[in-house]
Amino acid sequence: MIKYVAPSLLSADFNNLGRDIDMVNQSEADWFHLDIMDGVFVPNISFGFPVIEHIAKLARKPLDVHLMIVEPDKFLERFSDAGANILTVHWEACTHLHRTLSRIRQLGMKAGVSLNPHTPVELLDDILQVADLVLIMSVNPGFGGQKFIERSISRISRLREMIDKGGYSTLIEVDGGVGAHNAAELYAAGANVLVAGNAVFKSDDPLRTIERIKNA
């Protein structure tokens, strides 16, 4: 089974962003995870295109960009131009999700769809064939450092059953309250990609933490 780790740069030290990017480059991590927030879809604002472009110049691994914004369709081309390799939109923010995911793919990016904790995974049954990735939010989106919502485990398992039954290659990504303490359980439930923010960047030994999550 594919097991990826995607450190979330939202938890990095922005006074030393280049240093933290270099650490991830040298680590066993597979992707850089970038949370884009607009203060409307979620009650927080994060970085925009200039920061993404800067990260893209330094990163030696794919940029996994998670859009927590309203009307994401307006910006798909901009994120592609900024360097996104994987672009994930929220089910809750997209009126025409099939069209949005198809357009992301047309632009040469992997297409992902994210679900808030209260959104049933069963709603994705008719969209999995055009989704390269499903991101399960295991906290309420908008802020780092939140406690993992335990019911996320059963949601991951149900989604894994749906993907396997349909014969799809869709990856399951999990974001929120993830660390070495629960990585093995998440992989066992069917997750492929674990996003870790504070668990990595607040660690005394980030390289070792990434290794432990990857090999859990």
Active site amino acids = 35, 175
Looking at residue 48, its amino acid is G
And the tokens for 15?
């006074």
Question: With contact defined as beta carbons under 8 Å apart, do 54 and 19 qualify?
Answer: no
Secondary structure element (H or E) that encloses residue 52, with its range: helix 49-58
Of 157, 142, 137, 80, which Cα lies nearest the Cα of 111? 80
Question: With contact defined as beta carbons under 8 Å apart, do 70 and 38 qualify?
Answer: yes
Residues 6+ apart with CB under 8 A from 34: 8, 9, 10, 47, 52, 55, 63, 64, 65, 66, 84
Of 125, 128, 189, 188, which Cα lies nearest the Cα of 157? 189
∠ Cα 197 190 216 (to 5°): 55
What is the C-alpha to C-alpha distance for residues 175 and 143, in angstroms, rounded to an integer? 11
